[in-house]
Amino acid sequence: MLVEKNAPLQSCNTFGIVAKALHLVRLKSEADIYAVLQDPAWQAAPKFVLGGGSNIVLTGDVKPLVLKVEIMGKRLAGETPKAWIIEAGAGENWHDLVTWTLQNGYPGLENLALIPGTVGASPVQNIGAYGVELQDRFDSLDAVDLTTGQAFTLNAAQCAFGYRDSVFKHASQPGEASGAQALGLKDRAIITRVRFALPKAWKPVLGYADIDKKQRQCNVDVPTALQIYEWVCEVRRAKLPDWKVIGNAGSFFKNPTVSPEQCEDIIQRDPKIVHYQLADGSVKLAAGWLIDACGWKGKSIGNAGVYDKQALVLVNRGGSANPVTGGEVMTLAKAIQTSVYERFGLRLEPEPVVV
């Protein structure tokens, strides 16, 4: 087992923030995980799991042992009368998996194209876009308990998916019942493989303005999965910066959910607010619109800026030569939160993990 010391992390986080891991291990297989957990020098040490680094803000060097997940592999693991079961290693690039599934005739993930990050991170965040969330296509996952070294499998119910949320984002509480499904798994587990149930009776998921506009422009009544994939990629590339060119962590804030009464109150003051009715009767507001309405689009604090094409995205204006710091990113984020709260009475919640 090779432990890298003072490993640079600038290329391991999509913001391009300069930081080091005091110690880092690259995990290519489950065997590598067990080697770490059985090593007397590391088995009891605090650990930090790192995937593609697309959902983190590094505010300094990382002191816990960094476990860099690089477990690869994609395959058709099985099928049911209703679905193909696709399995992928946690270290696989998410967009590459989406592309591979479509190339091999397994539709269902096309609305989630071009989301940065790895397969292993996708259930942690319950990623979603254009009317589809990971939980809609999820079958099960394999993981290893970093405390006990035991391998376990979780189904969708045990993952406790919510809006950009899962059991992996919550710490266990004293007095909870035993069993992985009853515990918060934050900082406790490492995901190794994820399986997806992709529908054989596939239907396009539409209804978002940007995608509907593409459909009208192409004069297509019933689009194919590949067409939706291409439209999603075009829309995302037009709206969002490529992190390889301009460092960023994608959407920085969650879209807040309010009651119909709260929404109506805001509409009275701001009739143009972008909002979406949810199945449970609540209303989702577009956080990017709220931020833009507060005048933040294109503004900067130090080398941290708000992207001029999409106010929901914070960017690294300093590039690789003079990169943004985690402190600058969080100062900007807190200033935006204050503005939105003062104007709308809403508290925006960041999506990335602050380390």
Just list the catalytic residues.
164, 251, 351
Closest CA to 183 of 174, 169, 191, 172: 172
3-state secondary structure at position 193 = strand
Sequential DSSP letters for 104-136? TT--S-GGGTT--SBTTTHHHHT-EETTEEGGG
Pairing of strands 83-89, 65-69: unpaired
C-beta separation of 346 from 340 below 8 A:
yes
Closest CA to 114 of 239, 222, 205: 239
What tokens does 155 get?
A: 């189904």
Number of H helices and number of E strands within the chain?
9, 20
C-beta separation of 280 from 272 below 8 A:
no
**Ordered alpha helix ranges (H), the chain:** 30-38, 94-103, 122-125, 156-159, 209-218, 225-239, 260-269, 287-293, 326-344
Closest CA to 252 of 336, 167, 308: 336
Cβ-proximal residues to 319 (8 Å cutoff; 6+ apart), any chain:
16, 247
3-state secondary structure at position 34 = helix
Sequential DSSP letters for 332-344? HHHHHHHHHHHHH
Cα separation, 159 vs 138, in Å, equals 10
